Chains A and B, each alone.
Chain A
Amino acid sequence: MTQTTAAQDVVLRLTGITKRFGKLTANDDIGFALARGEVLALLGENGAGKTTLMNILFGHYTADAGTVEIFGETLPPGAPGAALKAGVGMVHQHFTLAENLSVTENIVLGTQSLWRAGLGRAAARDRIAALSRDFGLAVDPDARVRSLSVGERQRVEILKALYRDARILILDEPTAVLTPQEADALFDTLRRATAQGLSVIFISHKLHEVMAISQRVIVLRHGRVAGEVATADTDRHKLAEMMVGAEVALPHPGLGTPGEVLMELRGVSLPAQGRRSGLAGIDLALRAGQITGIAGVSGNGQSALADVIGGVTAPAGGALVVAGAEVTEWSPRAALDAGVGRIPEDRHATGSIADFTLTENAVLEAYATGQFSRRGWMDWRAARAHAAAIITTYDVRCPGPEARIRLLSGGNMQKLILGRALEAAPRIILANQPVRGLDIGALTYVQERLIAARDAGAAVLLISEDLDEVLALSDVIHVMSAGRLSPAFPRGSMTPARLGAWMAGQGFTDAA
């Protein structure tokens, strides 16, 4: 859209950026311009090349071809820090704050010479206060970061960028960790900031957010610019189409037909572990033919709940009842044998072994069964056939079953993990953040598979930070907050705002 953006207004221009990793072309001749005071949304599936592009912009990677211009100056390639110096600030999904320092200290950190630390503290504090007032970023400059909520920490990250005089702000999936109310506050901040001349690149998968906040959308697909549109001229449907290259129907499943209770948690509790929230007497029943959704801001006990159901942790208190019998021995193996299929929260750290091949990963949970081994001898032919079947059935894009899974994009890795879990025909499915970081294509696919599994009679537990996802898919919804679980709300009985209130901890009767 360089034709419609007057040259003097361009603050950032990427031209012909190309980056190859071996045979894979991660970025292929990508070019676009960012104008002063605009919010430009960068949409694209995982593996579409967004992360690579940002890494090139910040000098972490050197592009094979192409240039980055900021305020008319060409950045030297592969010089980390050049973009920062030129006025680009980035807020990552995973924050980079020092927990034991105050907000002011975190913001000032790295901007002053070591020998001058302490001097100008008051001035820094005043400036931070002014910035947070101007941009609506409410945060106490003297608070320790440790005590801040996720939303507040994000504000600190944004303040950090603004304090360094960033005139271009890049936000990577900024709403993934926020409640709907916090996300609205963030959008409010962005509107104020752009009104004052800041330019924003907003990376997201959530189409309604892109529609709500951006003026222009760049869609990346397979490393190329698949389209560029003014937000006013498009809608969610068209954007989704551009992302996957075909029309997508977001799932609108009918209600399931609930059957018997397959798994029940009765007053299950677990002590908190370090920074991880525990569980405070949770009652939960998972029924056949039903998707039970767990909404909540991350870090409120969802991981602990997933660990109990997936067999990683045995409950410290209360009872876990599977198929009518209280379990005494509970381990990952026991969970698998009880028919629990697991899609773990972190596909890299727990879901797969990066240096194993797809074949080796495909049989990770079942290598010891008669299907893939006999008397301690692996049947690699059967394993390879199994992997090949998953690759075909679940549309895993990869060089082949003997490729290391490390080379796959997140979405394709997730499809393999999904295939591994579902091919074992589980009665109970634990889907913990199953579509986090996935492109629309993979996301819709995973969701449809979960719905199909429900319709085939499985009990599905869907844990997600994405409220829309929980609302769309679940037959019943619980909210988690500080290790507590809300009562079950049938689908349609709750608005996002009311669920948001539960997510913030309102409504819980107990004093836990």
Chain B
Amino acid sequence: MRLEPVADPGLLRMLGLPLLALGATVVVASVLAMLAGANPFATLGLIVKGAAGSKFAALETLNRATPLIFTGLAVAVAFRAKLWNIGAEAQLYAGALMTVVIGTQMGLPGVLAVPAMALAAIVAGAVVLLVPVLLKVRMGVDEVVTTLLFNFIMLLFISLLLEGPLKDPMGMGWPKTESLPREIRLPRLVEGLRLHWGFGLALIAAVAVWVIQTRTTLGYEIRAVGLNPNAARFAGIPVNRVLVKTALLSGGLAALAGFSEVAGLKGNLTLDLSPGFGYTGIIVAMLALLHPLGVVVSAIFVAGVFVGADSMSRAAEVPTYIADISLATALLFMVVAILLTRFRLVRG
């Protein structure tokens, strides 16, 4: 068997193969559920019900999808330029940190506080990614390593702050910060429903990234640098400057995940603010084929799997690990599906 390039994949291939990948994932998840001693149909039913079976469940899924949209966009933007930002987690925490600092220390009124927190978060996230990218551009240091390691540095730094200057004096000794005053939290998207404006902001960000990528010179430069840096450089595109701009955009987007979690949901900063949203963002972006609007869809899908699996494991005796394994499987199948949209298998 060999691979031959396909000139024009056609709509059937483009849509059918990812659906097939999804189907294959369901099969694998069913087998896992059976191995755990449960009825696979019941298990899958419980996951779907837990993710979207009620208004509450659906909103919970969208809430969970919000930070994933931001980190997914951050990764998608960076990967387009072949800038391997594995550090969305660190940028998320940098954003969360600045949100808490501005929100609890400055005493700004609500109208000013929210934009100030968002802006400070964006700047912090951008700076956190700027360091590895400058190291890459100036000295050729591999950004995969540096951005990854920054995740640990940032977590330890936050931990230091939570035990020291930012520790909540009324926190009964828990490592957490003071909470933002109610009036500077992100309002509910719809009154009475547990979905905050962070989700709206995430949708706006996705559209904005899409517009940047398709309509602006920066988006054009980012794609050129990602597809063929040699040709881009030859054509006079300032490759390093484009990488720096990409870093600022990507870091800022990831930081908004932290901002939205703090200002929209949690209100304060703890070390378990993110259960790996930065890393899951990589899966979200890859499943979306790095398309910014696709990121919204894949983030909701991934969030649904997590939320649904949580709910399912409470009802059935199946561990939530099935969610992680299913997502990993989905990613692998999707990678194969993507390959098969561009190449076809030929006998001999």
Q: Which residues of A pack against B, CB within 8 Å?
A: 21-24, 59, 61-62, 76-79, 310-312, 331-333, 335-336, 342, 344, 349-356, 360, 364-365, 367-368, 373, 376-378, 380, 407
Contacts and interface: CB of A to CB of B under 8 A. Distances in A.
B231 A353 contact: yes
Interface of B: 2, 4-8, 215-221, 223-224, 227-228, 230-238, 346-348
A21 B224 CA distance: 26
A349 B238 CA distance: 17
Contact of A78 (B7, B219, B221, B348): B348
B236 A62 contact: no
Given A22-B6, A62-B348, A407-B7, A377 B215 contact: yes
B113 to A, nearest CB: 30
B232 to A, nearest CB: 7
A203 B168 CA distance: 79
A408 to B, nearest CB: 11
Contact of B228 (A61, A335, A354): A354
A62 B348 CA distance: 8
Contacts of B6: 22
Contact of B227 (A332, A356, A373, A380): A356
A1 B234 CA distance: 48
Given A62-B347, A331-B236, A336-B236, A350 B7 contact: no
Contacts of B7: 21-24, 407
A350 B217 contact: no
Contact of A332 (B5, B221, B235, B347): B235
A311 B236 CA distance: 9
Contact of A365 (B220, B223, B236): B236
Contact of A353 (B216, B219, B227, B236): B227
25 contacts: A21-B5, A21-B7, A59-B348, A62-B348, A76-B348, A77-B348, A78-B346, A78-B348, A331-B236, A333-B236, A336-B236, A349-B230, A350-B230, A351-B231, A351-B234, A352-B231, A353-B224, A353-B228, A354-B227, A354-B228, A356-B224, A364-B237, A376-B217, A378-B215, A378-B216
Contacts of B237: 364
Contact of B220 (A311, A331, A333, A378): A378
Given A23-B7, A365-B236, A360 B230 contact: no
Given A351-B234, A356-B227, A365-B235, A78 B215 contact: no
Contacts of A21: 5, 7
A349 B223 CA distance: 16
A79 B1 CA distance: 11
B234 A344 contact: yes
* Most chain B beta-carbon contacts within 10 A, residue among A24, A61, A333, A353: A353
B234 A22 contact: no
Nearest to A349: B230
Given A22-B6, A365-B236, A373 B217 contact: yes
B344 to A, nearest CB: 10
A68 to B, nearest CB: 13
A54 B4 CA distance: 16
Contact of B224 (A76, A311, A364): A364
Contacts, number: 84
B67 to A, nearest CB: 29
Contacts of A76: 348
A333 B216 CA distance: 19
A360 B234 contact: no
A376 B223 CA distance: 15
A24 B230 CA distance: 29
B227 A355 contact: yes
Contact of B232 (A59, A353, A354): A353
A62 to B, nearest CB: 5
A332 B230 CA distance: 11
A312 B235 CA distance: 9
Nearest to A350: B234
A403 B231 CA distance: 18
Contacts of B232: 353, 364
Contacts of A378: 215-217, 219-220
B218 A376 contact: yes
Nearest to A352: B231
Contacts of B233: 312, 332
Contacts of B4: 61
A367 B217 contact: yes
Contacts of B8: 22-23
B347 A78 contact: yes
Contacts of B347: 62, 78
A364 B223 CA distance: 11
A353 B238 CA distance: 16
A499 to B, nearest CB: 30
A360 B220 contact: yes
A367 B6 CA distance: 30
Contacts of B218: 376
A298 to B, nearest CB: 19
B231 A364 contact: yes
Contacts of B231: 349-353, 364
Given A78-B2, A354-B227, A332 B234 contact: yes
A359 to B, nearest CB: 11
* Leading 9 A-B pairs by shortest Cβ distance: A78-B348, A22-B7, A333-B236, A332-B236, A364-B235, A350-B234, A353-B228, A365-B235, A373-B217
Q: In the complex, which of the residues B217, B232, B237 has the most CB atoms of chain A within 10 Å of its own CB atom?
A: B217
A342 B231 CA distance: 12
Given A312-B234, A378-B216, A378-B219, 20 more contacts: A21-B7, A62-B348, A77-B348, A312-B233, A332-B235, A335-B236, A349-B230, A350-B230, A350-B234, A356-B223, A356-B224, A364-B232, A364-B235, A365-B235, A367-B217, A376-B216, A377-B215, A378-B215, A378-B217, A378-B220
A281 to B, nearest CB: 26
A62 B4 CA distance: 10
B244 to A, nearest CB: 16
Contacts of B235: 332, 364-365
A438 B191 CA distance: 68
Contacts of B223: 356, 360
Given A62-B347, A77-B348, A377 B227 contact: no
A477 B178 CA distance: 78
B234 to A, nearest CB: 4
Contacts of A354: 227-228
A62 B346 contact: yes
Nearest to B2: A78
A332 B5 CA distance: 33
B222 to A, nearest CB: 12
Contacts of B217: 367-368, 373, 376-378
A505 to B, nearest CB: 30
A190 B47 CA distance: 73
A21 B8 CA distance: 9
B340 to A, nearest CB: 16
Given A353-B227, A355-B227, A333 B234 contact: no
Contacts of A336: 236
Contacts of B234: 310, 312, 332, 342, 344, 350-351
A118 to B, nearest CB: 35
A352 B227 CA distance: 10
Contacts of A353: 224, 227-228, 231-232
Nearest to B235: A364
B220 A367 contact: yes
Contacts of A352: 228, 231
A364 B221 CA distance: 9
